[in-house]
Amino acid sequence: MYDDPDRAVVLGWSGTLVECHRGGARLFPGADAALSGARLASIPVIVLTGHPLEEVAAHARRLRVADRLSIVIAGDRDPVAELAALRAEYTRLAFVGSTRAEITRAHRAGVLAFGFSGGGCSGKSLRAAGAESVLSKLDRSLALRVTEQRLFSASGNEAR
C-alpha cells in the first residue's frame, strides 16, 4: 500500500467508468479492477459528471462500486472550477475522460488529462484534444500509471 496524499485520479462517469443505456448502467471492462487497484494503492478516485447525483449513487450501489469512490461531483456544476479546486488539494491529480470536451476542460483547469477510447471517442480525436496519452482499456494499475511523478515533471504540471 502507498501513502502519497498528493495523488488522486478523477474519472468521468458515463463513457469512462460506465456505459449508460436506457436508464441503466454497466461497468466498462476493467473498471472494477481499476477501482480496486486505486484502493490498494490508497489513491482516491473522484468521479466528475454532469449526471444527477441520485442517479450516479443508485448506479454505483447497484454496480457495487460506491465504496470505492472517494468523492462524487455530480450535476450542474462547473467542471473546470471543480477540477481546479481539486488540483489545489492534490498536486498529482490526473483526469481520465472519454470525450474531447472532458479533455479540454481538464487542460483549462491545469490538470494532466488522459483519454479513454473505450467509451466511443477515437484515440486520434482524444489526442487532438490534448490527451497526454490514450488508454484503450482500464486495468488495475490505471491510478498508479496516470499519477506517476515523471509524468508531471515531463508535462510541465510538476507537483508544487
Q: What is the CATH number of the domain that holds 39?
A: 3.40.50.1000
Q: Which residues of 110-142 are buried (b: 16+ CB within 10 A; e: fewer)?
A: ebbbbbbbbbebebebbbebebbebbeebebeb
99 belongs to a structural domain? yes
Question: What confidence tens digit (pLDDT) does each residue in 3-58 have?
Answer: 678 999 999 999 999 998 887 899 999 999 999 999 999 999 999 999 999 999 99
Identify the weakest region by mean pLDDT among 67-71, 106-110, 142-146, 149-153: 149-153
In the chain, the number of structural domains is: 1
Q: Which H helix or E strand runs over 24?
A: strand 24-27
- pTM summary value: 0.91
Q: Strands 24-27 and 18-21, how do they pair?
A: antiparallel
Q: Quick: pLDDT tens for 81-133.
A: 999 999 999 999 999 999 999 999 999 999 999 999 998 899 999 999 999 99
Indicate if the pLDDT at residue 156 is higher than 80: no
Residue 28 resides in a domain:
yes
Q: Does a structural domain hold residue 157?
A: no
Is 148 inside any structural domain? no
Looking at residue 131, its pLDDT comes to: 96
Would residue 120 count as lying in a domain? yes
Q: Confirm whether 65 is domain-assigned.
A: yes
Domain assignment present for 154: no
Task: Give the range of the structural domain holding residue 132, as residue numbers without chain letter.
Answer: 8-74+90-136
Asked if residue 159 belongs to a domain, the reply is: no
